[in-house]
Structure 1
Amino acid sequence: MNPFEMVVAIIVVVTIGRVLQARYGVVRTKRGESFAFRDDGAAQAENERLRDELKAMKDRLAVLERLATDNNDSGARLDREIEKLRDRP
């Protein structure tokens, strides 16, 4: 292998390494490298949406648990609670 081919091979290896770092979100710190996801707006918006969805599901589960454990046999009350759950987004 002549010196020119060796330089080209080194450049190719370094380029592939940089592309993989960018792809997987490797962030360089002063102490070295750490694998971490980048904080971009899309990821934060998705996290916020998922948190809101989880909160809504927990609220619905709490209502359903209360309905399941209630000793009151009132059918009208049960219908109202179910309708409240259906009206939620």
Structure 2
Amino acid sequence: MSPENLAAIRELAGPIAAIGVTGTLGWVVTTWLRIKHGYPLEGSWGQKIYPKTNDQAMQRIALLTSENAELHAQLGSLKDRLATVERIVTDSGYQLTAQIEALRGDGKPMN
């Protein structure tokens, strides 16, 4: 090898090493962020590898599931109440008055 080639290799060795170290650190940080936020990793053949969830995440999922069930129950009761209110509001005034009077025992027939 000529001295010119050796000088060129020495000049490029630093930047090439810096690029290699930067790429490796970037890959490590990216992998760490994926694990931290629960994103799947990729195996050597491109398959998805999901990191294991911890107990705190499982407890949070259980809490959210129970809260979701409670909210669905409340929503169902509110739908029933809304249907009753809609039926009362859309009823004509005469029919409602006749039903109330019939309940009072006035003796008027209901239509």
TM-score (norm 2): 0.49
Match of 1:50 among 42, 61, 64: 64
TM-score (norm 1): 0.59
C-alpha distance in structure 2 between counterparts of 1:44 and 1:54, whole Å = 15
Indicate the residue corresponding to 2:81 in structure 1: 67
C-alpha distance in structure 1 between counterparts of 2:69 and 2:29, whole Å = 38
Stretches of 4+ moved more than 4 A in 1?
Answer: 35-38
Any gaps of 5 or more consecutive residues in structure 2? 1-10, 89-111
Question: Is 2:44 aligned against 1:34?
Answer: no
Q: Indicate the structure (1 or 2) with the bigger Cα radius of gyration.
A: 2
C-alpha distance in structure 1 between counterparts of 2:61 and 2:54, whole Å = 11
- 1:50-87 Cα shifts (integer Å, max 9, x gaps): 1111111001111111222248x8xxxxxxxxxxxxxx
Any gaps of 5 or more consecutive residues in structure 1? 74-89
Query: Do the aligned partners of residues 16 and 5 (structure 1) sit closer, same or farther apart at CA in structure 2, a change above 3 Å counting?
Result: same
Question: Is 2:29 aligned against 1:15?
Answer: no
Higher relative contact order (CA 8 A, sep 6+): 1
Q: What count of residue pairs does the alignment treat as equivalent? A: 72
More strand by share: 1
